[in-house]
Amino acid sequence: MIATEHRFQGEASPQSLGQYGYKFIPNHVIRINTLEELKKFETSDPKLNKVILFTKRKETSPLLKAMNIHYLERVKFGEVVATPETQSLLDEFDIKEFPQIVGLENNGDNTYNRDLFDGDLLFKPIKKFVRGLAAKDRIPYEQVNEQSKKQEERKNRRQKQDDQDNNNNDNNNNEKQNVITPTKLDQGVLNKQLLRNDKPAFVHVYKETPHKAWEETIKKYKSLFDYYEFQVNTQEDEELVKELQIKSYPSIRFYQVGNTQKKRASKISFTKEYSLEEINKDIQELIDDKTININEQSLQMQLSQYIADNNIVVLYFYQTPQVGLTYRVLSQLQEYYGKYKFLSFKNASQKVIDQFQIPHQPAITIIFRDVKDKKELEEELKHDQVKQALFTGKHGYDEIKSFLDSFDESKKTSSKKVQEIQNQEQLEEYCEKKQTLCYIALLNGEHKSVKHDDILTKWEHQLEVLDKIKNIHGSKSASFVFIDASCHDELLLKFDISDDSLPNFVAYSSSKKTYSKLIGRFDYDAISKFIDKQYKGQSSNININSIQIVEKNCEEIFQKRKEASQSSGLSDFDEEILKEILEEERLKKKELEKELKKGKKKNKKSKDDL
């Protein structure tokens, strides 16, 4: 076997080492999903007692993996992940709380006495519990976790790729999460949606054969454009084709950034001969640069004037021939008129770069006036009120727009505040009695003070996104509520959502007993598209029984978790695992050194004999 070196490059602390080493711990634990699989788990390896962990974590617990290694082939280990699909297993063992450990002691005839572990969930007491079930001698497993073995191998390969090219992997993950589905175009969608939205748009018009560059176009521009499809089948469709001014099929119709008048004036189409490269070349020329071009001489004067007028100043530094396409589009959106000033600075001197602390180009930074009371905006500008925030995210449309929006006070405060649900009475009042669709935001409030960016905490950011959604979509016949699911985690199992997937968003119908959940990021655009799909009947619904929420003192729960975390650091279990791993590696190394020394002596003796 060829050994692979995995160099640890993080902080030399027990927690960092423990987290890093987790992925290299072999997994021999059997995943149990059905009663049939439970029977197979019990009847195979009849000479061994069993231990089952019931958990909400989707990844195998490091505790269980480490315990399995310690008692390898002396106890058989299984796990059940709590989901709606495994509810029959939870009922079979009467599991109400998580995590929970059950020991199965074999009576010798493939029947078992069930022993519920009721001690502290730490390594030492669990180890003592398992030791009481362990066989004296090792007995090779009959049932082997081949699937987990393959998953571990794939995971390690992915981790290796991550280490080599982390940025590319992040981009790929984002692309997978943000698959764009074009909207089906008709006369109503054209008039009420496409022409009214000031984002630029593409319309794919075809009969049987799609345009060769359509899929590539979507992948290239992503959420920078809106996308529509129109397949021509009838004579009535031909009437709409005339309005679109399409002369041949397939074609991609381009609509300019701007209002209805500007969109109607745009008459550009890309016929079937156009490649993506040719389309992109034309798009770069068609979308104008409306930013305010500045230089070193005009910079300070214009900044002072705009800030004194209480504008939010967006400054774009670049070295390319023209301003980036995404920035050009954003600078022309109607929602930013009168509030924002979009500036662009080409080939800034090192002095200016140092002044604004620009690490690389292109770069976006915002200069704004920071006041505690709005009345101060009417007073003379003070030097200490001028603040700067550098954008450090990916230069994509959604990421930059979210950053820009976080500085707009009108988007932070909502005229239609979303109702928080904390008990069953409120849930029935806002979601059950109205017999309408109920949109439930499942938020993460455990770390409310953690920063989302320079302006908002993570909790504030979640509420801001939600308030904006309510303002835009609140007129629809639906209820909008939010629940702190990091506290009321009993709902996560109901909606099949893990705690590491918070915040999340679900559409729940109490009358139909169904729900659907958001797939992707918790941001305005993703949730808006999710809501639009609900009203178009394009959502995938899942059956659900009635939901229950238990009233809790969330702050007390969070404080207890925090105290437990601070007092235990890594936790006894993590420290014990780390010690055992390091001790095992030390002994292996010692044995290897002995073997090497023996080998050297043997080689020396052979040479002497010669």
Token pair 């050194």 is at which residue?
Answer: 593
- The reported pTM is 0.44
Q: How far apart are CA 291 and CA 293, in angstroms?
A: 6
pLDDT at 461: 83
Q: How far apart are CA 481 and CA 80, in angstroms?
A: 31
* Confidence band for 192, pLDDT divided at 50, 70 and 90: confident
Cα distances (angstroms) measured from residue 327 to each of 318, 337, 574: 11, 14, 47
Assess contact for 34 and 89: CB atoms under 8 A.
Answer: yes
Task: Go through the domains of the chain in sequence order and give each one's CATH number.
Answer: 23-155 (3.40.30.10), 183-286 (3.40.30.10), 292-411 (3.40.30.10), 413-556 (3.40.30.10)
The conformational region for residue 197 under phi > 0 = left, psi -120 to 50 = alpha, else beta, is beta
**Which string of DSSP letters, residue by residue, matches 519-564?**
-S-SSHHHHHHHHHHHHHT----EE----------HHHHHHHHHHH
Q: Order the strands of the 363-369 sheet from edge to edge.
A: 292-294, 340-346, 312-318, 363-369, 386-390
Token pair 């995938």 is at which residue?
Answer: 540
Token pair 């009475």 is at which residue?
Answer: 425
Assess contact for 50 and 78: CB atoms under 8 A.
Answer: yes
> Is residue 309 classed as helix, strand or coil in its secondary structure?
coil
User: How many of the other CB atoms lie within 10 Å of CB of 381?
Assistant: 15
* Confidence band for 321, pLDDT divided at 50, 70 and 90: very high
Q: How far apart are CA 339 and CA 330, in angstroms?
A: 13
Q: What is the mean pLDDT of the chain?
A: 82
Q: How wide is the angle at C-alpha 511 spanned by C-alphas 509 and 515, nearest 5°?
A: 25
Task: Enter the DSSP assignment of 284.
Answer: H
Q: How far apart are CA 599 and CA 123, in angstroms?
A: 40
Percentage of the chain beyond pLDDT 90 is 40
User: How many of the other CB atoms lie within 10 Å of CB of 136?
Assistant: 6
- Residue 89 backbone dihedrals phi, psi, to 5 degrees: -70, -40
Q: How far apart are CA 522 and CA 501, in angstroms?
A: 10
Q: How far apart are CA 146 and CA 143, in angstroms?
A: 9
Assess contact for 124 and 579: CB atoms under 8 A.
Answer: no
Token pair 């043997």 is at which residue?
Answer: 602
* Confidence band for 147, pLDDT divided at 50, 70 and 90: low
pLDDT at 467: 83
pLDDT at 50: 93
pLDDT, tens digit (0-9, with 9 covering 90-100), for 528-550: 889 888 877 888 899 998 899 99
* Confidence band for 576, pLDDT divided at 50, 70 and 90: low
Q: How far apart are CA 370 and CA 385, in angstroms?
A: 5
- Residue 487 in tokens: 């506290």
Q: How far apart are CA 362 and CA 319, in angstroms?
A: 7
pLDDT at 556: 87
Task: Enter the DSSP assignment of 578.
Answer: H
Q: Order the strands of the 504-509 sheet from edge to edge.
A: 419-420, 478-484, 437-443, 504-509, 514-517, 542-543
Across residues 342-346, what is the average pLDDT? 96
Q: How far apart are CA 385 and CA 112, in angstroms?
A: 71
Q: Which tops the pLDDT comparison, 367 or 28?
A: 367
Q: Which tops the pLDDT comparison, 229 or 196?
A: 229
- Return the top range by mean pLDDT from 127-131, 170-174, 475-479: 127-131
pLDDT at 166: 42
Task: Determine what percent of the chain falls in helix, strand and coil, rounding each to the nearest 5.
Answer: 45, 20, 40
Burial of 415 (0-12, 13-18, 19+ CB in 10 A): exposed
Token pair 């009371």 is at which residue?
Answer: 373
Q: How far apart are CA 352 and CA 354, in angstroms?
A: 5
Assess contact for 115 and 51: CB atoms under 8 A.
Answer: no
> Is residue 139 classed as helix, strand or coil in its secondary structure?
coil
pLDDT, tens digit (0-9, with 9 covering 90-100), for 346-366: 999 999 999 998 989 999 999
* Confidence band for 610, pLDDT divided at 50, 70 and 90: very low
pLDDT, tens digit (0-9, with 9 covering 90-100), for 481-526: 999 999 998 899 889 888 778 899 999 998 889 999 998 888 888 8
Sign of CA dihedral 509, 510, 511, 513: positive
pLDDT, tens digit (0-9, with 9 covering 90-100), for 236-277: 899 999 999 999 999 999 999 988 888 988 889 999 999 999
Assess contact for 34 and 84: CB atoms under 8 A.
Answer: no
- Residue 523 in tokens: 């941001």
With residue 478 as reference, give the H or E element that holds it: strand 478-484
Around 406, how many Cα atoms within 13 Å sit in the side-chain half-sphere? 24
Compute, in degrees rounded to 10, the torsion defined by CA atoms 597, 599, 605, 608.
Answer: -100
Assess contact for 323 and 291: CB atoms under 8 A.
Answer: yes
Least confident of 244-258, 319-333, 385-399, 455-469: 455-469
* Confidence band for 146, pLDDT divided at 50, 70 and 90: low
Assess contact for 108 and 49: CB atoms under 8 A.
Answer: no
